[in-house]
Chains A and B, each alone.
Chain A
Amino acid sequence: MGYPHPSHPRETPVLSKYFGDAAARTLTGWQARGGYETLREALATDPVEVQNVVKDSGLRGRGGAGFPTGVKWSFMKPDGKTHYLCINADESEPGTFKDRELMRWTPHQLVEGTAIAAHAIYAETAYIYIRGEYTEPIARVSEAVREAYAAGILGANAMGSGKRVDVHVHKGAGAYICGEETALMNSLEGRRGNPRIKPPFPAVAGLFAKPTTINNVETVCAATHVLRNGAEWYKSLSNPANPKSTGTKLFSVCGNVARPGNYEVGMGFSMKEFLWDLCGGPPAGRTFKAIIPGGSSVPILTPEECEGAVMDYEGIQAAGSLLGSGGVICFDDSQDMVRQIARLARFYAHESCAQCTQCREGTAWTTKILERIRDGQGTMKDLDTLLEIADNMTGKTICVLSDSCATPVVSGLKKFRHEFEARIPKNRSSVMIPAFSPAAA
């Protein structure tokens, strides 16, 4: 539902059904709403069968990459090794706050999904890595875990199944990059959150060098509903014209918009109707100037590009951007795009782990140049330099933080170039300073 606003009739509240319902937070409240029955059934089902139902449903990872969840689970084989599950609750992508509400309102939904996913990948231990700033979600999920242990839902004999399922909450300490799955594993191991070079992929050697699966909060919550109601039901929630994007998706909407909040709609929803009908359009008296549809790391769209777009993985890609994490950031006509793109670049410069040269140097220089353009100190050549740096930052590093910084710069320069040019003093052009030569001096 459109929390904190009442549910819109065109929403499909599945995961968000109990947002705002404080009674759903407790174990008894969750059980009264049918909670943990799906886990009971799953524990009695062969993991391969669980994987297959999720595969059939078409559910794809909701953290941003969109990898098919059932396929990811099927990489984990009953090889007798210790397996781990990591739940990525490090939600740090600017514009995204869906996992926050899932954890605040329905912590047991996450615990149940986590236990099911652990069973599906032959893991006995799962860690829920929650970003340190999420103090309330940490408290809610920790309490849900405590209740679940006390009731025998978790532990050595989970729900009397004879299977061990341990779930631990692990608190992050402030680092955007720890939402990158290999950085998350390093952080959990007590290291600096530097991303790892792949291969080896986590399914081969992940957490503590053991086969590991990393799933987003929303993904495992959705998987529970898939198992409860079946793959066909899940597919029926989305636009049948596109079988590649199924089920519902939570979109977080923020920035200059009449009704910011979390909205859950079937995949394939019209972006125009979403922005204007569900979210109420731009603030009164304003018009939209730009929309970032999938968290700050994806290309910026113009309102015209959004109008015909449908909200699923393929639809947003066809419009020129990405679905990403589903964080929709709105900019109205009062916004200065140079200033806002410079602010975004500063975010990435602040969050770079500094491991790769292209990212460490590129994010900092991009910010420096954008800020001098913002302050009226730029040159026309700076615009070319920005694109050149962006090119050197794309596809050349261990993780995609570097690419994520380049993306809004490139799309912003392409779509709002006039705003950048207007900031450059008319008479200013690059001046070549001859190299200093000691011999000539």
Chain B
Amino acid sequence: MSLHAMAPHGHDQHADHRPVFTGARRAELDELLTRYPTKMAALLPALWMLQQDRGWVSPDGMAEVARELDLTPAYVKGVVTFYTMYHQHPVGRHFVQVCTTTPCNVCGAEDVVNAFLRETKCGELGVTSPDGRFTVIEVECLGACGFATPVMVNDAMIECVSVDAVKDLLAGLD
């Protein structure tokens, strides 16, 4: 039995996985490695690159990151699951994070998150809308408490989102 066959499911790269770290990404990773005395320290940035290119952190992608940084796939998965921002499943084209922690909560953030669930037709937190456009989640403190309710749509932060503003905000997204 080959080593490949022994590897548990998802712990090795499938033949159809397109490598992330080629070309410009390869150069970017190589430059990144010069910033730290260990390869392991480049793990979070490497996972960010993977997610940026593929939309999520797939098992095959994690295996590639592990190989690049001389880590084991299980170790990489252990780190990925610690952090909330790595998507372990594909998400909608627009990933919407609504802050509902106390400072925003007292300003009505729960109504805002409900408006997003209603208007996107996601219905439920973490569930992607039937048209694949949206995934809405509640997020813990976005660090913009003076601008309640802050909402992140992918990498964009939108301040002071009110229930009334939700419909127009969504209409501006493809």
Chain A residues in the interface with B (C-beta under 8 A): 4, 82, 91-97, 100, 131-136, 166, 168, 170-176, 187-193, 208, 252-256, 260-262, 296, 327, 329-332, 335, 340, 343-344, 347, 350-351, 353
B28 CB–A CB distance under 8 Å: no
What separation, in Å, do the CA atoms of A93 and B140 have in the docked complex?
Answer: 10
What separation, in Å, do the CA atoms of A172 and B71 have in the docked complex?
Answer: 19
Count the A-B residue pairs with Cβ separation under 8 angstroms: how many?
144
Flag the segment in B9-17, B121-129, B148-156, B165-173 that touches A: B148-156
Q: Which residues on B sit within 8 Å (CB–CB) of A96? A: 143, 145
Given A95-B145, A166-B35; 19 other pairs, CB 8 A cutoff: A4-B146, A95-B103, A97-B145, A133-B143, A173-B48, A173-B84, A174-B85, A190-B43, A190-B79, A208-B37, A254-B145, A254-B146, A260-B146, A327-B145, A329-B102, A340-B105, A343-B105, A344-B101, A350-B140
Q: Which residues on B sit within 8 Å (CB–CB) of A332? A: 106
Chain B residues in the interface with A (C-beta under 8 A): 35-38, 40-45, 47-48, 69, 71, 78-79, 82-86, 97, 100-103, 105-107, 139-148, 152, 155-157
Q: Which residues on B sit within 8 Å (CB–CB) of A4? A: 146-147
Q: Is the CB of B102 within 8 A of A176?
A: no
Q: How far is the CB of B84 from chain A (nearest CB, A)?
A: 4
Q: Is the CB of B156 within 8 A of A175?
A: no
Q: How far is the CB of B12 from chain A (nearest CB, A)?
A: 21
Q: Which residues on A sit within 8 Å (CB–CB) of B103? A: 94-95, 254-255, 296, 327, 329
Which residue in A132, A261, A351 is a CB contact (below 8 Å) of B146? A261
Q: How far is the CB of B10 from chain A (nearest CB, A)?
A: 19
Q: With A189-B41, A260-B148, A347-B102 in contact, do A174 and B83 touch (Cβ < 8 Å)?
A: yes
Instruction: Please list the 4 inter-chain residue pairs (A to B) with the smallest Cβ-Cβ separation, ordered nearest first.
Output: A190-B43, A174-B85, A174-B84, A173-B83
Which residue in B38, B47, B106, B140 is a CB contact (below 8 Å) of A347? B140
Q: Which residues on A sit within 8 Å (CB–CB) of B156? A: 135
Which residue in B86, B102, B141 is a CB contact (below 8 Å) of A92? B141
What separation, in Å, do the CA atoms of A135 and B45 have in the docked complex?
Answer: 14
Q: Is the CB of B143 within 8 A of A344?
A: no
Q: How far is the CB of A115 from chain B (nearest CB, A)?
A: 16
Q: Which residues on B sit within 8 Å (CB–CB) of A343? A: 100-102, 105
Q: Is the CB of A253 within 8 A of B146?
A: yes
Q: With A254-B148, A343-B101 in contact, do A100 and B106 touch (Cβ < 8 Å)?
A: no
| Chain B residue nearest in CB terms to A348 | B140
What separation, in Å, do the CA atoms of A396 and B43 have in the docked complex?
Answer: 31
Q: Is the CB of A92 within 8 A of B143?
A: yes
What separation, in Å, do the CA atoms of A94 and B140 have in the docked complex?
Answer: 8
Task: Show 18 residue pairs from A and B whose CB-CB distance is below 8 angstroms, ordered by the A residue.
Answer: A96-B145, A100-B143, A133-B143, A134-B143, A136-B157, A168-B35, A172-B44, A189-B38, A190-B40, A192-B78, A208-B36, A208-B37, A253-B146, A260-B147, A260-B148, A327-B145, A329-B145, A343-B100
Q: How far is the CB of A156 from chain B (nearest CB, A)?
A: 13
